[in-house]
Amino acid sequence: MSATSAETVPFGIYIHWPFCLSKCPYCDFNSHVANSVDHVRWRKALRAELAAGAARHPGRAVGSVFFGGGTPSLMDPETAGALIDDIKTFWNVTDDIEITLEANPGTVEIDRFSAFAANGINRVSIGIQALNDRDLKFLGRLHSAEEAMRALDVATSVFDRFSFDLIYARPEHDPKAWRKELRQGLAIANGHISLYQLTIEPGTQFYTLHQRGELVVPDEDLATELYEITQEETQAAGYGCYEVSNHAKPGQESRHNLVYWRYGDYLGIGPGAHGREAIIQPDGTTVPTAVRRHRAPDIWLDRVEKAGNGTQEEIVLEADERLLEMVMMGLRLNETIPTARFERIIGKGPRDVLDNARLETLIGSGDLICDSAGLRTTDQGRNRLNGVLGYLFDPAA
């Protein structure tokens, strides 16, 4: 990946399906358990909001579509197909457009992979999370390790590209066991794997248990050891850590997620979906805007049926907000945030807009590199990115 490619980021589209069969105890996403879903009604509403978005963004070239959730593999495959057809009607799409569907390994969903492929999905991202039944139960997953392996087998036969997730730093997570499990996963992987350290998010069941002292996660030393094992094993298997938690063989990076990390524009539709849109004004200028749809599925659905979209708020992003977002996202990648991107988004180079004294401190500590090409983290800096960003942007730090 070259630095210059960041300035030709295609337009992305994110479509949120909010429903799940159950709520995982670690999940803080906008997901809801519903006894029944009117698929015809939801299909019509998603298409209506997509059409409204297309009217605001004519002439863009779409390079990626991502169906997220929730569990979008629970939607009717025909719904995905209708939305994909609409996208190709409203916009030009790149020849190599990536269209990803998040999926779980449950039997009902696996059996529908072929139907989703027939309706235009060309990549799946499967929420495996663990490869043993004990930890799957702890994580609140409904599938077994056997079903996980079957899902990967089916994905291999149906899709040219797929990814899957594993979570590490679980309670009492043994480093030797993680190394063995990770090697098992990498032996099955097909070019991309996401490896997330378990985090305890407010509002989740795990957060409540953690606050009570009933759930103890690995301490910093053990978490660091597990992280280092993750890097060792992925590198040995030929998977570069191109983003903090994402590893890929060359050319297999998630194109849609790169839109976010490279600070490209994207349209988000569906309840709770976020977008970053360059909205065209009557005078022809564009205003960088953060758009958020209403989070509650029923309220979103009602608003779309009445007004054509479920937008809850639009916030014009000022220069300091764009700078913070662009740097926060870009430093996650194992590549440079090019000077040209600073100039495109902020109008100035990195040394003109960042605190130079703090920047020099982080360069001296071996966490950042800032040169004529732009700004990037070292491996060390990316490993402690939260601290780096806090020092760079927090006046009180």
Interval 289-310 mean pLDDT: 95
Q: Tell which residue, 48, 86, 83, 82, has the closest CA to residue 306.
A: 48
Q: How far is CA 315 from the centre of its chain?
A: 21
Encode pLDDT of 78-87 as tens digits. Answer: 999 999 999 9
Of 73, 65, 239, nearest to 155 (Cα)?
73
In this structure, what DSSP letter does residue 395 have?
T
- The arithmetic mean of pLDDT across residues 58-64, rounded, is 95
Tens digit of pLDDT for each residue in 344-396?
899 999 999 999 999 999 999 999 999 999 999 999 999 899 999 999 998 77
Which of 92-106, 203-217, 300-314 is least confident? 203-217
Q: Give yes or no for residue 4 having a pLDDT over 50.
A: no
Q: Read off the amino acid at residue 330.
A: G
Give residue 3's pLDDT: 37
Residue 67 backbone dihedrals phi, psi, to 5 degrees? -95, 110
What is the arithmetic mean of pLDDT over 316-328? 95
What is the pLDDT at residue 7? 57
Alpha-helical regions (H) of the chain: 39-56, 77-90, 107-110, 113-118, 133-138, 145-158, 175-188, 205-211, 220-236, 255-261, 297-307, 319-330, 339-345, 350-353, 356-364, 379-383, 385-393
How much is the pLDDT for 263?
Answer: 94
pLDDT-derived band at 49, boundaries 50, 70, 90: very high
pLDDT band at 6 (very low <50, low <70, confident <90, very high): very low
Please tell me the pTM assigned to this model: 0.93
Write out pLDDT tens, residues 161-216.
999 999 999 998 999 999 999 999 999 999 999 999 999 899 888 888 889 988 88
Average pLDDT over residues 252-266: 96
- Position 2 scores a pLDDT of 35
Give the distance, in angstroms, between the CA of residue 164 and the centroid of all CA atoms in the same chain: 12
Residue 66 CA to residue 15 CA, distance in Å, equals 6
Residue 152 has a CB neighbour count (10 Å cut-off) of 22
pLDDT of residue 1: 37
Mean pLDDT of 282-296: 87
Secondary structure of residue 112 in the 3-state scheme: coil
Q: Convert 257-292 into a string of H (helix), E (strand) and C (coil).
A: HHHHHCCCCEEEECCCCEEEEEEECCCCCEEEEEEE
pLDDT tens-digit map of 329-358:
999 999 999 999 999 899 999 999 999 999
Length of the chain: 397
Residue 82: per-residue pLDDT: 98
Of 105, 54, 8, nearest to 344 (Cα)? 8
Average pLDDT over residues 98-103: 97
Q: Has residue 9 got a pLDDT over 80?
A: no
Are 127 and 100 a contacting pair, CB within 8 Å?
no
Torsion on CA atoms 302, 304, 305, 308, rounded to nearest 10:
160
For Cα atoms 43, 49, 52, give the angle at the middle one, nearest 5 degrees: 140
**Residue 217: exposure state from Cβ atoms within 10 A (0-12, 13-18, ≥19):** middle
- Measured between alpha carbons, how far is 198 from 172 in angstroms, rounded to an integer? 12
CB atoms within 10 A of CB 281: 8
Element (H, E) at 248: strand 246-248
Round the average pLDDT of the chain to a whole number and report it: 93
Query: Quick one: pLDDT at residue 60?
Result: 93
Query: Do residues 108 and 73 touch, judged by C-beta distance below 8 A?
Result: no
Region of residue 97 (left: phi > 0; alpha: psi -120 to 50; beta: else):
beta
Selected residue with higher pLDDT from 70 and 6: 70
**Helix, strand or coil, per DSSP, at residue 333:** strand
Comparing 284 with 115, the larger pLDDT belongs to 115
Q: pLDDT above 90 covers what percent of the chain?
A: 81
Q: How do residues 139-156 score in pLDDT, each as one tens digit?
A: 999 999 999 999 999 999
Sequence-distant (≥ 6) Cβ neighbours of residue 306 within 8 angstroms: none
Q: How confident is the model at residue 45 (pLDDT cuts 50, 70, 90)?
A: very high
Four-point Cα dihedral 76, 78, 82, 88, nearest 10: 110
**Residue 25: pLDDT over 90:** no
How many Å apart are CA 225 and CA 230, to the nearest integer? Answer: 9
| CB 62, CB 94: distance < 8 Å | yes
Q: What is the pLDDT of residue 279?
A: 82
- In whole angstroms, give the CA distance from residue 355 to residue 372: 17
For tokens 């942007």, what's the residue?
393
